[in-house]
Chain A
Amino acid sequence: MSQEYLEVFIDESQEHLQTLNDNLMQLEKEPEDISIVGEIFRSAHTLKGMGATMGFEDLAHLTHSMENVLDLIRNEQLEVTSHVMDAVFESVDDLEEMILDISKGGDGKRDVGEAVKKLEVLQNGEEAEASSETAASVEEKPEPSASSQISESFDEYERTVLVQSVEQGYQPYIIEITLDENTMLKAARVYMVFEVLEDIGDIIKSTPSADDLEDEKFDSSFAVTVISTAEADELEQRIMKVSEITSVTIEEVNVDQASEAEKDNKKEDKKEGNESGADSSSQKKEKPAKQDNNNDKKESAGKKGSELNKTIRVNIDRLDVLMNLFEELVIDRGRLEQISNDLNNSELNETVERMSRISGDLQEIILNMRMMPVDQVFNRFPRMVRSLSKELGKQVSLDITGAETELDRTIIDEIGDPLVHLLRNSIDHGIEEPEEREAAGKPAQGTVLLRAYHSGNNVFIEIEDDGAGINKDKIIQKSLDNGVVTEEDLEKMTDQQIYGLLFASGFSTAEEITDISGRGVGLDVVRSTFESLGGTVTVDSEYGQGSLFSVQLPLTLSIIDVMLVEVGSEKYAVPLTAIVETAIVNKNEVYSAHNQKVIDFRGKVVPLVFLNDIFDVPAKNENENDFYSLVIVSKGDKIAGLVVDSLIGQHDIVLKSLGNYLSNVFAISGATILGDGQVALILDSNALIK
């Protein structure tokens, strides 16, 4: 199968898996809402079709079993119990594994026997006996039609009909029709043949009976007796127009012969014949008609379906290349702007301005193209939390806010696993057992809040639980035992820094090691993953009240809007998104509080941060004036004033990393090349706000 199909297959399968998960969660919350089941059914159904087409049989097999169970639920023959949900969720897990395997180049094979069995048990529940019965009868039935010779016997009523029809100028035929052995939905095929025949004649009888044909209780061929004014050839042609018919054999019925052959039985049959004849005639007219009306329900469920946007799928690599090229362009644009300023040629100025405007728009599009809501990552958490809390016997509710917050695709791809780890950590170590919680005067159900929001050039993702919190003494003891810190270090550390030791390698405070989290390889891996993305992770906690893990991630933004400022002879860039405003204050308005210079700014006490002190910038030998230039920056609801020498202005810059050697420079998130070729460092204002 071609790669192209496979990619689309994988993408769409994942979408459907997500829909399955979302809707199943929804269903669990509102088990009465049968319309959701329709949605779930449809996703499973589509997956089945796609899987079968790609030849992933296990996948098709499993989805088929799911479908059967869902169908029962939809028809209100099966109640949505937690038992049922567990089985269905388990199958979805299997499906996920298979799709994952396929996306990794595997063959998607998986032993689905157990999952299928569970589903079948659900499906059969009460009707276990009934279905095994039908299964048995199906196997017995094919025999009558196995003989290839056309032989049909008629009862008296049928003979009478035949004789009469001949008198009226009709010709009776016996037609044997063989379907292609690969035919699926045989009954529908038979139905089509019946329809063709009824068009040009009347069906007197069929073998097997119409009911058996409808139930597909036949091998591949069946016989029909038809009266028609058409020639045999025409009948044959018409029937052959129906697909999947291998052969049609037509014989004219010699009514006399038929009567002769049956004459002997005539007398015995006579009384019975009339009764049963009337019976069977009504049967004969019946086509293999529709079996259930429940399909109508699908329509109403369908309305909930999401609107489809027209999209094309583009490989992320191409977007990366586009981004890189554009970055180069932005640097040249800065240079061009500088040159045109210097030359002061009005036509050149005009053109450059226009170009800047267009490239600004272009930039926005390119960046937005790469942004995705964190929902992409968050949406699988409810499932995870559900199964985890069941496993641990804890009651946990997960509240997600800010799922629409957008992040660069490459970051989104990476944060899933570490976030899972943090969540597991909160549930495993944070939230207590229900009894323990009640004893502590908390509701039995623990709450984990998962929050995402923008701040400055960063996105914050926070995981807050109302669990046991972190036992500081235990951490201190443990980190001393493990030699992570010395007592000397500890004395200088703040509470937060001590909690931060959790992220040091070789740390596990759980009394017993579970397989959920805390194998001792946990949180330091989490930290390094976030750091490799240019982010940080911190933890705060109140013992007995819960803990808060906060992850700070860059928006990506390899091109950002900044305010350029000058400190001494060096230039720094402050991301515009972090800036509240700029201000100039008189030096005599600066007060000292707790060893910290602060100003009273618009009724708020704002701490000052002197950049020349922090970065050890040699002071310019200029006359000191009486004013400070300030850039007021914020992080969440905290603000600070950065003291600089002068404000240069707003620029678009390309964020370049400082490289591997300088990955941990305090309060610097990168560097950029300015239009005139100078390098400016980009401030990480979040690090400067305490």
Chain B
Amino acid sequence: MASVLIVDDASFMRMMIKDILTKNDFEIAGEASNGQEAVDMYNELKPDLVTMDITMPEKDGVVALKEIQSNYPDAKIIMCSAMGQQSMVIDAIQAGAKDFIVKPFQADRVMDAINKVLG
């Protein structure tokens, strides 16, 4: 049972992902609502996987990704993006994101991405 850290500034979105994950027997390591929290919580929890929103207050997802990757090059991070953020997604992948999912989320798409990254 892999543990997942969910990062999104909208609790609505976190709830959505959490639901999908728990239905598929994942353990929720924690939830962070901005990039800084994500970095702190990653250091503390070392989850198997992170779902990282891109647009967030304090620190955006790409910056948080870079920080986490610099400390933990093996971190598995999936970016959550909305349409129209192509360049940021590419930026994130360049920086080491393993995959990305696009809002609106579809459960099977989310699971597909997660299984591929963990598999």
A contact residues vs B (CB 8 Å cutoff): 4-5, 8-9, 12, 42, 45-46, 48-50, 52-55, 64, 67, 182, 184-185, 187-188, 191-192, 195, 241-244, 287-292, 295, 298-299, 302-306, 308
- Whether A303 lies near B58 (C-beta < 8 A) is yes
Instruction: Give Cα A422 to B103, complex, Å.
Output: 43
- Whether B86 lies near A8 (C-beta < 8 A) is no
- Whether A295 lies near B90 (C-beta < 8 A) is no
28 A-B pairs whose Cβ atoms sit less than 8 Å apart in the complex: A42-B55, A46-B9, A48-B82, A49-B103, A50-B13, A52-B103, A53-B13, A53-B104, A67-B84, A184-B83, A185-B81, A187-B90, A188-B86, A188-B90, A191-B93, A243-B112, A244-B112, A287-B90, A289-B90, A290-B88, A290-B91, A295-B60, A295-B62, A302-B34, A302-B59, A304-B57, A305-B57, A308-B33
- Whether A192 lies near B12 (C-beta < 8 A) is no
B29 lies within 8 A of chain A by Cβ: no
Q: Mark B98-110, 1 if CB is under 8 A from A, else 0.
A: 0111111100010
- Whether B55 lies near A290 (C-beta < 8 A) is no
Instruction: Give Cα A298 to B16, complex, Å.
Output: 25
* Least distance between B31 CB and chain A CB atoms (Å): 10
* Least distance between A274 CB and chain B CB atoms (Å): 32
- Whether B87 lies near A192 (C-beta < 8 A) is no
Instruction: Give Cα A9 to B11, complex, Å.
Output: 9
- Whether B58 lies near A305 (C-beta < 8 A) is yes
Q: Enumerate chain B residues within 8 angstroms of A243, measured Cβ to Cβ.
A: 99, 101, 109, 112-113, 116
Q: Which listed residue, A46, A55, A305, touches B10 by the CB 8 Å rule? A: A46
- Given contacts A42-B55, A49-B103, 11 further A-B pairs with CB under 8 A are A4-B15, A5-B15, A8-B15, A45-B55, A53-B12, A243-B116, A290-B94, A299-B60, A302-B60, A304-B57, A308-B34
Q: Enumerate chain B residues within 8 angstroms of A185, measured Cβ to Cβ.
A: 81, 83, 85-86, 89, 100, 102
Q: Enumerate chain B residues within 8 angstroms of A5, measured Cβ to Cβ.
A: 12, 15-16
Q: Enumerate chain A residues within 8 angstroms of B91, measured Cβ to Cβ.
A: 290, 295
Instruction: Give Cα A554 to B98, complex, Å.
Output: 57
Instruction: Give Cα A192 to B16, complex, Å.
Output: 26
Q: Enumerate chain A residues within 8 angstroms of B55, measured Cβ to Cβ.
A: 42, 45-46, 298
Chain B residue at minimal CB-CB distance from A15: B10
- Whether A188 lies near B89 (C-beta < 8 A) is yes
* Least distance between A288 CB and chain B CB atoms (Å): 7
B41 lies within 8 A of chain A by Cβ: no
* Least distance between B113 CB and chain A CB atoms (Å): 5
Interface residues on B, range: 35 or more
Instruction: Give Cα A243 to B89, complex, Å.
Output: 14
Chain B residue at minimal CB-CB distance from A51: B104
- Whether B87 lies near A291 (C-beta < 8 A) is yes
Q: Which residue, B81, B84, B101, has most C-beta atoms of chain A within 10 A?
A: B84
- Whether B90 lies near A299 (C-beta < 8 A) is no
Q: Enumerate chain A residues within 8 angstroms of B9, measured Cβ to Cβ.
A: 46
Q: Enumerate chain B residues within 8 angstroms of A4, measured Cβ to Cβ.
A: 15
Chain B residue at minimal CB-CB distance from A2: B19
* Least distance between A157 CB and chain B CB atoms (Å): 28
- Whether A295 lies near B93 (C-beta < 8 A) is no
Q: Enumerate chain B residues within 8 angstroms of A287, measured Cβ to Cβ.
A: 90
* Least distance between B87 CB and chain A CB atoms (Å): 4
- Whether A188 lies near B100 (C-beta < 8 A) is yes
- Whether B13 lies near A302 (C-beta < 8 A) is no
Instruction: Give Cα A413 to B67, complex, Å.
Output: 44
- Whether B100 lies near A49 (C-beta < 8 A) is no
Instruction: Give Cα A65 to B29, complex, Å.
Output: 36
**A299-B59 in contact given A46-B9, A50-B10, A290-B87 (Cβ < 8 Å):** yes
Give the residues from 34 to 56 in chain B that come closer than 8 angstroms, CB to CB, to chain A.
Answer: 34-35, 55-56
Instruction: Give Cα A241 to B115, complex, Å.
Output: 10
Instruction: Give Cα A188 to B88, complex, Å.
Output: 9
Instruction: Give Cα A48 to B85, complex, Å.
Output: 13
Chain A residue at minimal CB-CB distance from B36: A302
* Least distance between B69 CB and chain A CB atoms (Å): 15
**A191-B102 in contact given A46-B9, A53-B16, A302-B56 (Cβ < 8 Å):** no
Instruction: Give Cα A507 to B35, complex, Å.
Output: 57
Q: Enumerate chain B residues within 8 angstroms of A242, measured Cβ to Cβ.
A: 99, 116
- Whether A298 lies near B89 (C-beta < 8 A) is no
Instruction: Give Cα A195 to B100, complex, Å.
Output: 14
Instruction: Give Cα A42 to B57, complex, Å.
Output: 8
* Least distance between A26 CB and chain B CB atoms (Å): 16
**A288-B90 in contact given A53-B103, A185-B81, A308-B33 (Cβ < 8 Å):** yes
Q: Enumerate chain A residues within 8 angstroms of B57, measured Cβ to Cβ.
A: 42, 302-306
Instruction: Give Cα A57 to B98, complex, Å.
Output: 29
Chain A residue at minimal CB-CB distance from B97: A192
Q: Enumerate chain B residues within 8 angstroms of A42, measured Cβ to Cβ.
A: 55-57
- Whether A298 lies near B60 (C-beta < 8 A) is yes
Instruction: Give Cα A64 to B83, complex, Å.
Output: 9
Instruction: Give Cα A191 to B33, complex, Å.
Output: 28
Chain B residue at minimal CB-CB distance from A310: B33
Chain A residue at minimal CB-CB distance from B78: A243
**A8-B12 in contact given A45-B82, A185-B102, A302-B57 (Cβ < 8 Å):** yes
* Least distance between B47 CB and chain A CB atoms (Å): 19
Instruction: Give Cα A179 to B71, complex, Å.
Output: 33
Instruction: Give Cα A48 to B84, complex, Å.
Output: 11
Instruction: Give Cα A289 to B86, complex, Å.
Output: 9
* Least distance between A41 CB and chain B CB atoms (Å): 8
* Least distance between B63 CB and chain A CB atoms (Å): 6
Q: Enumerate chain B residues within 8 angstroms of A49, measured Cβ to Cβ.
A: 10, 13, 82, 103-104
- Whether A191 lies near B90 (C-beta < 8 A) is yes
* Least distance between B33 CB and chain A CB atoms (Å): 5
Instruction: Give Cα A241 to B117, complex, Å.
Output: 8
